[in-house]
Structure 1
Amino acid sequence: SNTDQGQRGSLPSSLPSLAESVSQWRDEGRVAVWLHVPILQSSLVAVAASQGFAFHHAEQGSSTLTLWLGEGPSRLPGFATHQVGVAGAVLDESTGRVLVVQDRNKTINAWKFPGGLSNPGEDIGDTAVREVFEETGIKSEFKSILSIRQQHEHPGAFGKSDMYIICRMEPTSFHISFCQHECLRCEWMDLEELARTENTTPITSNVAKLLLFGYREGFDRIDITMREFPAVYTGLFYKLYHRELPESYRNMT
């Protein structure tokens, strides 16, 4: 990519020096400039904007601006387009009951699976484990992914799209001690009752029916499982989620 010729740097403190720098970068054949501005120097954003820089993204302590110097429209990658939420459907297979909550601050207090937003660098299963424990006090283990919802123009996603992943979880503790700041109610509910009740959200109802099918007919019929592989970059790994492959196919060479 020609954007490999981009220039990264700190912001000069005056307009002439920035203008001179941009001119120099053009002469050097640079096609893009990424400018990192600490929050305490935000007054200098106007200096950069006067030279054609535009915001790319902002974080808690800084903002990043870009300037495209190449031909044609900018080919720089955009910032994040989605937020990721994860919920855990914690099923006690010995009783057929599933862990559900009602959010405290919702207009309609429908039953749902505990969950929340994933943190940067956090695996899907780890988010489910953390969110379930934070909301209900129940410890659990990740088993599989059950469903993925994609929704655009989500009201809580600041104009971005939303991915909401529901995981099948296995409990390792059973005593509920739910967070009363977030939850109005929390209980172990019969899975078939959850699949039939109208007092729930559409996604919870559909996933409850899917989970009930797996509980009765075998989880191998519904699970999207995870395997870890080494990435092409030395020392890094990634997690691949897919339906389970028969061993004869998995070990093909």
Structure 2
Amino acid sequence: MNYLDSTNNQYGGTYVSPKALPDSSDIFASQLNESLKIWRSQKIKVVWIKIPNARANLLPQLYQAGFMNHHCDADFMMLTLRLEDGAIIPPFAKHSIGVGGLVINANNELLTIREKDHIKTHPHNWKFPGGMLEPYEHIEDGVIREVLEETNIQTEFQSFIGFRHHHQGQFNTSNIYAVCRLKPLTLNITIQESEIFDAKWFPIEDYLADDKIGKYNHQILQSALKYPGLKNINLPGYMSSDQDYEVFMTL
């Protein structure tokens, strides 16, 4: 075959999978050149090519042909080439998602932590335990996991309280920080020593009266005390075997 086998999509683009790639750079250069002629004659708008790390030797030919990096993972690079002026190439994800666990015990105390990274610059930053979601992890699962990892407190998800959105996240991404109400199932704190300086159950009245605590934490705690939040519900007929959703709404 003197061209690259590809699969067209409904948007007028075509995709070349790693299985269609030859081992030889010379053969690839010849196939790419012939393929570009074919794709242009077919009025293909955008070409997508996925290059595994093991085929990194093919990247120079793609760059010379005008391909641009679109996104990557640990084991591949995805490149695109716009063949039609103005053709839409959707940008890759530019958001990270963090979660915070708002955990209140029967004594009306709030579970709080201070991070090691903040102890010198923000020594009074008593915050909710939490962290970043892992790839393909649900918010409910992630916030329970993060609270357990940082404090060894086992919890049960109750509701989604709210979120903060800003554009100064890690690696120049925007960030959504979601706060969830959790019910504690255990009470004895054991900190994650690699990241956490200390942790404690903070009386809510004292927490709200402390003017050194961040305004956002004050406000979202007050919201959680006043409103039940959004429940994670199952919508019959909405879920399917290949689509796994979380749905939060009032009941």
TM class, shorter-length: 0.7 to 0.9
1:1-253, aligned counterparts within 5 Å? 2-3=10-11, 5-10=13-18, 11-12=21-22, 13-14=25-26, 15-69=29-83, 71-92=84-105, 94-106=106-118, 107-109=121-123, 110-154=125-169, 156=170, 158-211=171-224, 213-214=225-226, 221-229=227-235, 230-231=237-238, 235-244=242-251
Which residue of structure 2 aligns with residue 250 of structure 1? Answer: none
Question: How far has the Cα of 1:3 moved from its partner?
Answer: 2.1
Contact between 2:45 and 2:87, CA under 8 Å: does it hold in 1?
no
Once residues 153 and 46 of structure 1 are traced to their aligned partners in structure 2, the CA distance between those partners, rounded to angstroms, is 33
Number of residue-to-residue matches in the alignment: 233
Match of 2:100, SS state, is strand
Question: How far has the Cα of 1:5 moved from its partner?
Answer: 4.1
What is the percent sequence identity of the aligned residues?
27
Q: In the alignment, residue 190 of structure 1 is paired with which amino acid?
A: P
Structure 1 segments unaligned to the other structure (5+ residues): 215-220, 245-253
Once residues 150 and 11 of structure 2 are traced to their aligned partners in structure 1, the CA distance between those partners, rounded to angstroms, is 44
Q: Aligned-pair RMSD on alpha carbons?
A: 1.9
Once residues 172 and 83 of structure 1 are traced to their aligned partners in structure 2, the CA distance between those partners, rounded to angstroms, is 29
Once residues 160 and 233 of structure 2 are traced to their aligned partners in structure 1, the CA distance between those partners, rounded to angstroms, is 12
Once residues 187 and 82 of structure 1 are traced to their aligned partners in structure 2, the CA distance between those partners, rounded to angstroms, is 31
Question: How far has the Cα of 1:235 moved from its partner?
Answer: 4.7
Q: TM-score, structure 1 length as denominator?
A: 0.85
Contact between 1:7 and 1:30, CA under 8 Å: does it hold in 2?
no
Q: In the alignment, residue 60 of structure 2 is paired with which amino acid?
A: A
Judged with a 3 Å threshold, the aligned counterparts in structure 2 of structure 1 residues 88 and 232 are, in CA distance, closer, same or farther, namely closer
Contact between 1:231 and 1:237, CA under 8 Å: does it hold in 2?
no
Question: How far has the Cα of 1:126 moved from its partner?
Answer: 0.6
Match of 1:127, SS state, is helix
Match of 1:64, SS state, is strand
Q: In the alignment, residue 32 of structure 1 is paired with which amino acid?
A: V
Q: TM-score, structure 2 length as denominator?
A: 0.85
Question: How far has the Cα of 1:81 moved from its partner?
Answer: 2.0
Contact between 1:3 and 1:76, CA under 8 Å: does it hold in 2?
no
Question: How far has the Cα of 1:233 moved from its partner?
Answer: 5.5
Once residues 88 and 126 of structure 1 are traced to their aligned partners in structure 2, the CA distance between those partners, rounded to angstroms, is 11
Q: In the alignment, residue 152 of structure 2 is paired with which amino acid?
A: G
Contact between 1:194 and 1:208, CA under 8 Å: does it hold in 2?
no
Structure 2 segments unaligned to the other structure (5+ residues): 1-8
- 1:32-67 deviation digits (Å, cap 9, x = unpaired): 221111123324222101111111101111110011
